[in-house]
Structure 1
Amino acid sequence: MVTDFVIPVLTGLGAGLSLIVAIGAQNAFVLRQGLRTEHVAWVVTVCAVSDAVLIVAGVAGIGVLIQAAPGLLTVTRYAGAAFLLGYAALAARRVWNRQSMTTRAAGDRAGLGAVLATCLALTWLNPHVYLDTVILLGSIANSHPEPDRWLIGAGAVAGSVAWFTALGFGARLLSPLFARPIAWRLLDALIAVVMTVLAVTLLLGT
């Protein structure tokens, strides 16, 4: 029956969206790149593919291995906190930079390598990503029999692709709002606060 296929997919879609649609380091970065119209397709692809790999790993049962190796998450937590604090410092520095953030001069644009490195770090150095996608989504999927668990995983992957695509390419709709430098400064201030809070949360182990 069609419902035997649709219900598991919708379950995965809903679970996936509920976990990724939130203010976090990765989403803040995707939003900023979308507003700058800078390497958006690459950023969206990296985020979506990374999520897909982690979700598949969770459905395959690798989440059990991660739970059995808490030391790995501890190392990732401290490395991620250090990176987030560094990124927060860069965002805070941009807040006080007098140069307009709306400039599109070639020298003002970050290189693809730097953007991808930042995107990968914000994704793979965040322990919450493993807890949400590998362990939590993996647990939800593995509570169902074959082939439903893989349909749930497919739904979660579809939700991730849809979200990052909408966030990255839809950000340009806010371009009129960000035509003024003050709007960019407010965004960078928000990013600095979010990154700092996330880093402190990681350091406290919460």
Structure 2
Amino acid sequence: MAGAALTGFLTALSLILAIGAQNAFVLRQGLARSHVFALCLFCALSDAVLIAVGVAGFGTLVALVPGFPRAMALAGAAFLLVYGAARFRAAWRGGHALTAQGRAGTRTATLATAAALTWLNPHVYLDTLGLIGAVSTQYPALGQKLAFGAGAAAASFVFFFSLGYGARLLAPTMQSARAWRLLDLGIGAVMWALAAGLILGPAAPAG
């Protein structure tokens, strides 16, 4: 149970750790100290809903199409290999920059922007419904699957609240090209490790 929860936590954390439009927006709002709690809660709950659908949906598909999880796992592994390679390439090239600009808006406007960045982003669905759902198939037992999903959802809460409230501490560090390179190297290594796990499959039946 603990192993499944930890795998879920690390899988989700690795997928959301790369700075994108949504994360940059959360960081920006954190720097402005504007609607941080509402924004972080919205982003984390959105991820939790999508993760739950991904984990539950794959369980249903396993029963209907036994070969589907393996096919999806291989597709997920291919994406993770490419994504990991992109992170290694970014680490090699360097030149990252993240600026926090813009004025704080109302809470409604802030959450509307967050909704667009979350629910209109195709990568969110690929990460939660596809990749996290695929990795969850390594745990056929209901208890392990629930632990995996809970761990993945917990990663979203930890990440977004840490990013939002820790923004003022993180921003100076992340202005450093070296810090970005180390971050990208770490993400790339985790992505490739996950890809290897999907390709090789579970070492032994769960029990």
Give RMSD over aligned pairs: 2.3
Q: Which runs of 5 or more residues in structure 1 are unaligned?
A: 68-94, 96-100, 103-107, 178-182, 184-206
Offset of 1:116 from its aligned partner? 0.6
Offset of 1:125 from its aligned partner? 0.3
Indicate the residue corresponding to 1:137 in structure 2. 132
**Correspondent of 2:157 among 161, 167, 170:** 161
Indicate the residue corresponding to 1:30 in structure 2. 26
Indicate the residue corresponding to 1:87 in structure 2. none
List per-residue Cα deviations over 1:57-94 (Å, max 9, x = no partner): 00111696xx9xxxxxxxxxxxxxxxxxxxxxxxxxxx
Confirm or deny: 8 A CA contact 2:8 2:151 kept in the other structure.
yes
Residue type of the alignment partner of 2:137: N
Work out whether 1:57 is the aligned partner of 2:53. Answer: yes
Residue type of the alignment partner of 1:127: P
Cα separation, 1, equivalents of 2:46 and 2:104? 24
Q: Which runs of 5 or more residues in structure 2 are unaligned?
A: 62-67, 69-98, 176-207
Confirm or deny: 8 A CA contact 1:37 1:172 kept in the other structure.
no
Confirm or deny: 8 A CA contact 1:35 1:174 kept in the other structure.
no
Q: Which has the larger radius of gyration?
A: 1
TM-score scaled by structure 1? 0.60
Work out whether 1:121 is the aligned partner of 2:126. Answer: no
Indicate the residue corresponding to 1:82 in structure 2. none
Cα separation, 2, equivalents of 1:128 and 1:121? 13
Moved over 2 A (4+): 172-175
Offset of 1:109 from its aligned partner? 3.6
- Residue identity over aligned pairs, in percent, reads 52
Indicate the residue corresponding to 2:14 in structure 1. 18
TM-score scaled by structure 2? 0.60
